[in-house]
């Protein structure tokens, strides 16, 4: 998987596993959910070592083990680089970031064991580490790629400058960043432009504002919902949520969206958005509703 092929290697809608341990689901139920996702065309699953108090990867791997053959039909994305203070990591005395070569190597090996697989399709640094040794890290990533333990390497939550700096040492497959009508900073501050320049496809987390879009008490959310629903009615679309995802997919970088829902219907809303191309005025109307004012 090279920087130019990530879009074809991952599904455009990725199922986010951030809250999987809060779903109160059994391993068998999770395995069934994974199968339903695959049938819908959502074949990629986003993880991080810290999700679920360091338990989500193992839980997912155990679920996969119940359905032989399912692993070959999906792509696993996972992240590392945040060290949490947690009962699962009693040696951690303070929350910190660690992008060292040693920690990346250890994290890849641990994730492979958790998922019960031999290869992770996409491995990301979860947060930028100000103490990173980029050259040493690049050498380690090259070894992991050559060994086939990871298919591609990227970053998450990196600024444009931090992305560009590391990308000069090792070709980065993506930058996983937060973007929504409520959080459009990466569109304005050069983060998205840097990815376009590098011809790298971004992955978008919290495309619905981390659930803010559904908050009945949030005035901005109410304005955005009203705008989305108006566009839905005009276009005859089944769900206004699809219009929200279409706002993300309208970006020219052809981003991949992470949908963190356990509802197949919610994932279907995201998939349906792939067939909706908003006009420029519709896109800006949604942005204006979120900001509460017209663009400058």
How does pLDDT run across 76-127, given as a tens digit for each residue?
Answer: 999 999 999 999 999 999 999 999 999 999 999 999 999 999 999 999 999 9
**What are the residue boundaries of the structural domains of the chain, listed by start?**
6-173
Q: Tell me, what's the pLDDT at 139?
A: 98
Among the options 51, 54, 97, 245, which is catalytic? 51
Give the tokens for residue 54.
């360091």
Would you place residue 5 in the very low, low, confident or very high pLDDT band (cuts 50, 70, 90)?
Answer: low
Would you place residue 4 in the very low, low, confident or very high pLDDT band (cuts 50, 70, 90)?
Answer: very low
- pTM, whole model, 2 decimals? 0.96
Active site residue 51: yes
CB 108 within 8 A of CB 115: no
CB 96 within 8 A of CB 83: yes
pLDDT tens-digit map of 154-164: 999 999 999 99
> Which CATH number fits the domain 6-173, given the four candidates 3.40.50.620, 2.40.50.140, 3.20.20.100, 2.30.31.70?
3.20.20.100
DSSP string, 108-167: HHHHHHHHT-S-BSEEEESS--TT--HHHHHHHHHHHHHTTSBS-EEEES--HHHHHHHH
Rounded to an integer, the average pLDDT of 39-43 is 98
Cα Rg of the chain, angstroms: 19
Rounded to an integer, the average pLDDT of 19-38 is 98
Helix, strand, coil content of the chain in percent (nearest 5): 45, 15, 40
């Amino acid at each position: 998987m090279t920087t130019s092929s990530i879009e074809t290697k991952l599904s455009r809608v990725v199922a986010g596993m951030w809250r999987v341990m809060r779903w109160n689901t059994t391993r068998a139920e999770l395995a069934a959910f994974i199968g339903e996702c695959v049938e819908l065309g959502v074949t990629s699953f986003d993880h991080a070592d810290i999700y679920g108090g360091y338990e989500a990867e193992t839980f997912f791997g155990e679920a996969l083990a119940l359905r032989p053959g399912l692993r070959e039909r999906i792509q696993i994305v996972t992240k590392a680089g945040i060290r949490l203070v947690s009962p699962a990591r009693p040696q951690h005395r303070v929350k910190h970031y660690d992008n060292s070569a040693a920690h990346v190597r250890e994290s890849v090996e641990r994730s492979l064991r958790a998922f019960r697989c031999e290869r992770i399709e996409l491995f990301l640094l979860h947060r930028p580490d100000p103490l990173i040794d980029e050259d040493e890290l690049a050498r380690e990533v090259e070894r992991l790629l050559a060994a086939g333990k990871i298919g591609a390497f990227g970053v998450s939550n990196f600024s444009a400058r931090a992305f560009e700096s590391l990308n000069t040492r090792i070709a980065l497959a993506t930058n996983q960043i937060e973007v929504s009508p409520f959080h459009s900073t990466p569109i304005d501050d050069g983060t998205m432009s840097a990815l376009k320049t590098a011809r790298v496809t971004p992955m978008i987390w919290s495309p619905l504002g981390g659930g803010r879009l559904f908050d009945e008490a949030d005035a901005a959310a109410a304005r955005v919902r009203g705008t989305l629903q108006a566009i839905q009615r005009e276009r005859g679309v089944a769900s206004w949520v699809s219009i929200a995802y279409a706002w993300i997919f309208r970006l020219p970088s052809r981003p991949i969206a992470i949908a963190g829902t356990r509802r197949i219907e919610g994932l279907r809303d995201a998939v349906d958005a792939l067939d909706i191309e908003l006009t420029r005025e519709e896109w800006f109307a949604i942005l204006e509703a979120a900001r509460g004012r017209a663009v400058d």
